A and B are shown apart, each in its own frame.
Chain A
Amino acid sequence: MLRRLLKDFQGDVLAIPGRLLALIFFVILFFIPLFLQGSSGSYYLRIFIFANMYVIFAVSWDLLSGYTGQLNFGHALFFGVAAYTTALLNLHLDWQPWLTIPLGALAGVIAGLVVCLPALRLRGPYLALVTLAFPLILLGIVFAFTDFTGGELGISGLDRISNSRTTDYYISVAVMIVSVMIMWKLTDARSSLVRTGIVFHAIREDEIAARASGINTIRYKLLAFAVAGFFAGIAGAFHAHFMRIAGPSNLELTLSFQVIIWTVFGGITSIYGPVVGVYILFPLMELLRVVPEVRNLIFAGIVVAMLLFMPEGIAVWVRDKIERECPRCKLSNMAFRKTCRACDTPLYERAVD
């Protein structure tokens, strides 16, 4: 049993450079607090905690828009609904974070299902416009009923998740890794456990063909929205408890676009893409705080350059450099191998002399 696991580990993780890098990254994440001590360390840990939450958020967008092709331009809706639900439950009913965060995520699921109703009939730019509208409508309501929602100031004074920043960090890392792994498995097209991955791909590529093949696409679209809403909700609720405030900035257009930019920067339709995107862009934005006047300008410039010159995303670009798919058995190989590790097929066509 243990030996088989070890063998699987060797074949499925160590032999594929992308997964090896992911493993190294996860291991490094566990040791980060050792190097970040004192008050400045606490500040850097805070950045990492934010990054972990935004990773969950961005990956959930990728699952919905990248994999299933339901272009969502208002992903902040799920984040904001969960944040406000959590805040109201925590303040008025005095429930603890371990209870309010899952309930916030459930609110995200409900928001996802509500948004899904128009999504069943629309696609492409039309869907983008409708999804864009939902968080803005809610934002208008938040500003109009200030005594319930706190208006501009939001709802503050929530309970902390834990008493120390390091504990917060480890909780956020654990939640992040588990969520990303679940979503990775759900979108894995070659998985033998769940068939959602291949169905999501089919819906994106050609929904009518998927339906003609006997797939109940409506059920799977509902599922995609619910799952995306759930994980975006976890991120939003965690964010609210960590910041101890739920405010209108959790619903704003900026957040909806941030998540798209992170994902497209890292590589859309790849779970590791948004992870890489958030872990590069979010700390970069924090570093750029030393030049506040041109911070947003640099950010926008990076985005434009990225879209023009590396539209597949940075993670995918790197992966294509270090991995090579076997042309016969579709197994990933290290790029420096000449023949496939399983079936010995030459990976590169021989140059004609």
Chain B
Amino acid sequence: MVEGIIIQGLIKGGTYALLAVGFSLIFGVARMINLSHTCFYMLAAYGIYAFAKMLGMPLIAAAVLSLLATTIIGILTYRLFIDRVREHHVTVMLITLALAMVFQEWMIISFTSEPLGAPSFISGYWEIIGVKVSYQHLLTFGVALAVLICVWALLSKTRLGVAIRATAQDSEIANLMGINVRRILLVTMGMAAVLAAVAGIVVAPTLTLEPRMWTSPLVMIMAIVVLGGLGSVKGSFIGAFIIGFVEVLVVFLMPGGAFLKGAFALLVMVIILLVRPEGLFGIAFEEERL
């Protein structure tokens, strides 16, 4: 029981971390809440199903293609729709929501709303402290950690990372220092899309694919980024594991837990915003509070 909770929590946390870091990155740099973020996760998962099962490609090729396609879609949506209205919070939230609906309908039209299953990368399982963990779950966790370490290295060790962090701190000053802010925003959006797509690809085999699969993780990552502090990458990483464990605990220990897990995560979010609005590691945006 306890072992099961720990291992399930780590795996859940890993996936949420991938999604939440991208969401938090784009909020930190562009100050916009992208409600279509988890749609890229859905697109990548459906992409792997389409390439591997419908077209019969080898899995690795399907994964790479799906990742590329999702990233291109992510950058295009930013360039065509979001970029023009990014100064206005409400408009950004509305337009990304409308785009999420477009993606959902697109998936319903192309794949019907029947639940589908994607093929597994590797089969079999491994017994850790008496709990059977499938290799697919271990792969999910491993890939999540590897990708997040890459993101951390990129943000802290490269010139591009410095530029992204500078833009997040103050985009006007960054612009005066010769950073092309529009390009940085585009790159950040691309990175967020890549992170979401990686999450979608590794998780796809363990889930059933359906066109509404973007809503439940969206609610979860909103709670996570608020818990960790909006715009803080480290915060969303740690927050993802906390919320992941909370979710698993609620599902394991409470009757009707599957329905209440979202409610619990959101309750955590509301309490955090009331008690400590900057989150665990967030930067306090003085001008955005009273």
Binding site for B on A (CB under 8 A): 71, 73, 117-118, 120-126, 128-130, 132-134, 136-141, 143-145, 207-208, 253, 257, 260-261, 264, 293-294, 296-297, 299-301, 303-304, 307-308, 311
Chain A residues with Cβ below 8 Å from B109 are 293-294, 297
Q: Identify 25 residue pairs between A and B in the complex whose beta-carbon atoms are under 8 Å apart, listed by A's number.
A: A118-B274, A120-B290, A121-B277, A124-B89, A125-B288, A126-B277, A126-B288, A126-B289, A129-B222, A130-B269, A133-B270, A137-B262, A140-B259, A140-B264, A144-B260, A207-B290, A261-B98, A294-B105, A296-B104, A300-B101, A300-B105, A304-B99, A307-B91, A308-B85, A311-B88
B232 to chain A, nearest CB (A): 14
- Most chain B CB within a 10 A radius of its CB, from A134, A144, A145: A144
Q: Is there an interface contact between B99 and A140, defined as CB atoms closer than 8 Å?
A: no
- With A140-B260, A297-B105 given, is the CB distance from A253 to B215 under 8 Å? yes
Closest 8 CB pairs of A and B: A140-B263, A143-B259, A133-B266, A144-B256, A300-B101, A297-B105, A303-B98, A137-B263
Partner among A121, A136, A294, A308 whose Cβ is within 8 Å of the Cβ of B263: A136
Q: Is there an interface contact between A123 and B290, defined as CB atoms closer than 8 Å?
A: yes
Chain B residues with Cβ below 8 Å from A129 are 33, 222, 226, 269, 273
Q: Is there an interface contact between A307 and B89, defined as CB atoms closer than 8 Å?
A: no
B139 interface hit (Cβ, 8 Å): no
By beta carbon, the residue of chain B nearest A299 is: B101
Instruction: Count how many pairs of residues, one from A and one from B, have CB atoms less than 8 Å apart in the complex.
Output: 131
Q: Is there an interface contact between A311 and B101, defined as CB atoms closer than 8 Å?
A: no
Chain B residues with Cβ below 8 Å from A71 are 89-90
Chain B residues with Cβ below 8 Å from A261 are 94, 98
Q: Is there an interface contact between B289 and A121, defined as CB atoms closer than 8 Å?
A: yes
Interface string of B102-125 (1 = CB under 8 A from A): 101110110000000000000000
- With A118-B274, A121-B274 given, is the CB distance from A133 to B288 under 8 Å? no
- Per the bound structure, the CA–CA distance linking A171 and B267 in Å amounts to 39
- Most chain A CB within a 10 A radius of its CB, from B31, B91, B266, B267: B266
B251 interface hit (Cβ, 8 Å): no
Partner among A123, A130, A141 whose Cβ is within 8 Å of the Cβ of B270: A130
- Most chain B CB within a 10 A radius of its CB, from A122, A125, A208: A125
B84 interface hit (Cβ, 8 Å): yes
Q: Is there an interface contact between A307 and B222, defined as CB atoms closer than 8 Å?
A: no
Partner among B81, B108, B277 whose Cβ is within 8 Å of the Cβ of A122: B277
Chain B residues with Cβ below 8 Å from A260 are 90, 94
Q: Is there an interface contact between B81 and A304, defined as CB atoms closer than 8 Å?
A: yes
A126 to chain B, nearest CB (A): 6
- Per the bound structure, the CA–CA distance linking A207 and B287 in Å amounts to 12
- Per the bound structure, the CA–CA distance linking A293 and B111 in Å amounts to 12
Other contacts beyond A125-B89, A133-B222, A264-B90: 11, CB < 8 A: A122-B273, A126-B230, A126-B289, A129-B273, A133-B266, A139-B263, A140-B262, A140-B266, A303-B98, A308-B84, A311-B91
- Per the bound structure, the CA–CA distance linking A308 and B269 in Å amounts to 32
B68 interface hit (Cβ, 8 Å): no
Partner among A121, A126, A136, A296 whose Cβ is within 8 Å of the Cβ of B266: A136
- With A132-B222, A133-B269, A136-B219 given, is the CB distance from A300 to B98 under 8 Å? yes
B145 interface hit (Cβ, 8 Å): no
- Per the bound structure, the CA–CA distance linking A144 and B263 in Å amounts to 10
By beta carbon, the residue of chain A nearest B257 is: A144
